[in-house]
Structure 1
Amino acid sequence: MAHKHNGKVAPHVHHHDAGDAHSEGSHCESDIQPIVYPENIQRRLNALKHIHMDIQKHEHHMHVQIFQQEADTYKKMLPLLKKRAEIISGVHEPTAEEGQFKLKDDAPAPETTPADGQKGIANFWQTVLMNSGHTVDLVEQHDHEVLEYLVDVRTVYTEKPLGFKLEFEFRENPWFSNKVLTRGYEFEDEISREDLYLITGLQPKTTQGTVIEWKDGKNLTKKEKITYQRNKKTGERRQMKTEEEQDTFFSFFTPAVTDLRALMKSLSAADDSVDTEVRMATAQKIQDAEMEYELASVLRTRVIPRALLIFTEEDDEDVYSDDEFGNEDDEDEDEDDDEDGAGDAGEDEDEESDDEPPAKKGGHGPGGMKKGVAGTPPGKGAAGKPRKN
C-alpha cells in the first residue's frame, strides 16, 4: 500500500524491524462480512483460537524483548555515536591513526583533493537525507538550506513507557529558534484481548512532536500567494496576498493526530450511518499516521546507524543509479499560482501576478513528486544529487 506524507508517496518504508507493528484496523469492521461455518468446524476453529491467543502472547513478549534488546545495544553504541557526531561537527579532529582505513591491506588509498581547511564534514546529515531512498522525496527544495544547519540525528529510548524519540539537532539558524526538533512514539503498556488477537508487533499508542518556533516570515509549512485584481471599470489593479499550506520535511515534527489508538478505534467503530467523506478522511489520517510511524522506525533502525554508508553512497539499499532509471526533465509547476483570486461583486477582474518570482523546481520521484538537489559537500562529487527510486 502506498503511504503519503504531505500528499506524496513515501518510498521504501515498508520495514518492520525490532518489534515494530504492522498496523491493523485500517478498514472499517462493518465492511467485513463474517464467514459462516458448519457447527463442527466452528467448534474446532474456536479451539484453534485459544491456541492462537497463547501464540500471540508469546509473540508480543518476543517483540517487546527485541525492542528492549535494541535499546540496550543502542546504549552501548552511544560513545561511538557521540564521537561520530564530534568528528562530523568538527569538535574532534581524527588522529593520524584514526584517519587511516582499509578494508583490505593491499587496497589502494582513495583519491583526494587538497585539504580545504574546513572543520568537520559540511552538510553531512543534509546529504544523508537526500541520498536515502527513505527520505529523499520528503525533502523539498526550500528545505535544503535549513538542513545545512542540521548537526546530528539520534534516537532516545524509553523503558516506562516503552518507546523512542528521534532528535534532530540544529545549529542556530535563520528559520526557527528550537535547537532540537523531536518526533517520538509510545507503545501500548497493556494490550486488549481484541488487539492481541490481531497484533503482529508493538502497537504505537501515541506520538509526540515539536512545536516549531518559526521566526517571522520563515515558516516553511506556509507560503504566500500573490494575485492581482483589476477593476473592470477603472482598470486599477490591487494586490491580494493569501497564505496556503506548503509541503515541507518539517511537517514530520508536527503530527496531525497524537492519539493513534483513538484514531484507529474511530474508524473501526464507524458504521454505514457515518458520512462516507468523514470515513474516508479518517482512513487517510490513519494511512498518513502509518507512513510517518514507518518512516520514524526506518530512521531509527537503518538511516541513523548506517548514516556514513548512505553519505558515501555505499549502502546497498540506499544507492540509486540515475543511469539505471534514466534522467527526467522538470515538469512540475505550481499550478496554484495561476488560480484567480476573488472578485468584488463582478467589478474586479483577477489577474496573475507578473511580479512573482518563478517557482523553484527539483527533479522527480515516483508519481511526479518534486525533489531538489542538496548541496554537494566539498570534495564529495555527486553525494548531494537526487536519487531515483
Structure 2
Amino acid sequence: MSNDNHQDGFNLSGLRAAMSEEDRVGLVNALKDKLQSLAGKHTDVLETLSAAVRKRVEVLREIQNQHDELETKFFEERAVLEAKYQKLYEPLYTKRYEIVNGVVEVDGIKNESSVETLAEDKASEEKGVPDFWLTALKTNEVLAEEIQECDEEALKYLKDIKWCRIDNPKGFKLEFFFNSNPYFKNSVLTKTYHMIDEDEPILEKAIGTDIEWFPGKCLTQKIVKKKPKKGSRNAKPITKTEDCESFFNFFNPPEVPDDDADIDEETAEQLQSQMELDYDIGRVEGSKSIGPPSANNSKMFYNVFYNG
C-alpha cells in the first residue's frame, strides 16, 4: 500500500491474522493503555491546582458527561434513521448496478450507428459505464494513493461495492463484487471491521478475504532477481518473492503483534496510525460506494462522470 505503511521496516502486508477474538480485545486494550500512558503520568497536575481551579475543572467534567449522554442518544437515533433510509436507498442501488453493468438501457439513448457499422459484431458494442468503479475510486485522493498502476486492469473487473452494518460484533462490512477475471478466482472480496465502541468508533480488528490468485497473477507480491555475490559458486541469479504495494493489500489488514509486551511506545503509535489509515480507507469506501457514512461524499463520487 502507501509508503507510510512500510516505514521503519514495519511491513503492513506481512502481518497475519492468527489470534482469537479474546486475545485481540486484550491486545487492543493494552495498545490503548500504552498510548495513553503519557497522559496518565500528568494526572497529578490537578493536585497542583488551587481549590477554586479544581472546582472549575469538576464542573467542566460534569459538562462533558452531559455532552456524552446527549451524544449517546444521538448515535442511537442516527442508527435507527440510517436503517430506515438504507431500505429506501436499496432500489436506487439496484438501478445503478443495472445501468453501470449494462443490464438495462436508459431512456433517451439514440442509435447513432451508420449503415456500415450495423453489420459489425454486436458483442463489441459498449455496454453500461466501462471502468465505472475504477474511475470512481480514483477520484478520492486517499484511495488513489493506494491504487498502483498494476492494479488498474484488475479493478476494471469490479462491478459493484456494497456496504452493510453488522451487529454481533458491532461494525460494518464492505463487499467488492468482481466479474470473472484472469487475476483471481474470488467473485467477492470482503473487508469486515469490528468496533470496540460503536458510539465513538475504535477499531478492534479488521478481517479481509484471502485472495485466491491465479498462478503468476498476484499483485501484492513481486519476483525479484538479484545477482549472486562476487566469488559465489552459484553464478545463477537469485530469485526472491517480495511484498509490494497494491490496492489489494487492503484485504490483508494490519494486526496487533502476538506479544504486546514487546511493543514500545513508538511501535504502538505506528501500529495505531496504520490501523487508523486502514479504517479511514474503509470508511471512504463505504461513503464512496453505497451510502453511509457520508451522503455528501457519495454525491462527489459521481461528479467525475459529469465533469470529466
Fold in common (TM above 0.5): yes
Q: CA deviation at 1:45?
A: 2.2
CA–CA separation in structure 2 for the residues paired with 1:124 and 1:81: 14
Q: Given that residues 138 and 147 in structure 2 are in contact (C-alpha distance below 8 angstroms), is that contact kept between their aligned partners in structure 1?
A: yes
Q: Given that residues 288 and 301 in structure 2 are in contact (C-alpha distance below 8 angstroms), is that contact kept between their aligned partners in structure 1?
A: no
CA–CA separation in structure 2 for the residues paired with 1:230 and 1:206: 42
The residue number in structure 1 matching 2:305 is 312
5+ residue gaps, structure 2 = 8-30, 118-123, 291-297
Change (3 A) 1:28 1:204: closer
What is the one-letter code of the residue matched to 1:280? Answer: E
Q: CA deviation at 1:230?
A: 6.0
Q: Which of 264, 270, 276 in structure 2 is aligned with 1:284?
A: 270
Change (3 A) 1:44 1:231: closer
The residue number in structure 2 matching 1:368 is none
Q: Given that residues 137 and 288 in structure 2 are in contact (C-alpha distance below 8 angstroms), is that contact kept between their aligned partners in structure 1?
A: no
What is the one-letter code of the residue matched to 2:155? Answer: L
The residue number in structure 2 matching 1:244 is 242
State, as a whole percentage, how many aligned pairs show the same letter. 26
5+ residue gaps, structure 1 = 8-23, 101-111, 191-199, 267-273, 315-382, 384-389
Q: CA deviation at 1:168?
A: 0.9
Q: Given that residues 256 and 271 in structure 2 are in contact (C-alpha distance below 8 angstroms), is that contact kept between their aligned partners in structure 1?
A: no
CA–CA separation in structure 2 for the residues paired with 1:54 and 1:301: 30
CA–CA separation in structure 1 for the residues paired with 2:149 and 2:267: 28
Change (3 A) 1:243 1:278: farther
TM-score of the superposed pair, with normalisation by structure 1:
0.59
TM-score of the superposed pair, with normalisation by structure 2:
0.72
Matched, 1:301 2:308: no
Q: Given that residues 5 and 138 in structure 1 are in contact (C-alpha distance below 8 angstroms), is that contact kept between their aligned partners in structure 2?
A: no
SS of the residue corresponding to residue 223 of structure 1 reads strand
- 1:40-67 Cα shifts (integer Å, max 9, x gaps): 4324423432342232122133124324
CA–CA separation in structure 1 for the residues paired with 2:130 and 2:175: 19
CA–CA separation in structure 1 for the residues paired with 2:276 and 2:220: 21
CA–CA separation in structure 2 for the residues paired with 1:258 and 1:65: 33
- Between the two proteins, the alignment pairs up a number of residues equal to 263
The residue number in structure 1 matching 2:215 is 216
Q: Given that residues 132 and 310 in structure 1 are in contact (C-alpha distance below 8 angstroms), is that contact kept between their aligned partners in structure 2?
A: no
Structure with higher helix content: 2
What is the one-letter code of the residue matched to 2:302? Answer: L
Q: CA deviation at 1:206?
A: 3.3
Q: Tell me how large the CA RMSD over aligned residues is.
A: 3.5
SS of the residue corresponding to residue 205 of structure 2 reads strand
Q: Given that residues 254 and 274 in structure 2 are in contact (C-alpha distance below 8 angstroms), is that contact kept between their aligned partners in structure 1?
A: no
SS of the residue corresponding to residue 169 of structure 1 reads strand
5 Å matches for 1:335-350?
A: none
Q: Which of 87, 94, 98 in structure 1 is aligned with 2:106?
A: 94
The residue number in structure 1 matching 2:37 is 30
Q: Which runs of 4+ in 1 moved over 6 A?
A: 112-116
SS of the residue corresponding to residue 162 of structure 2 reads strand
What is the one-letter code of the residue matched to 1:171? Answer: N
Q: CA deviation at 1:201?
A: 3.1
Matched, 1:127 2:135: yes
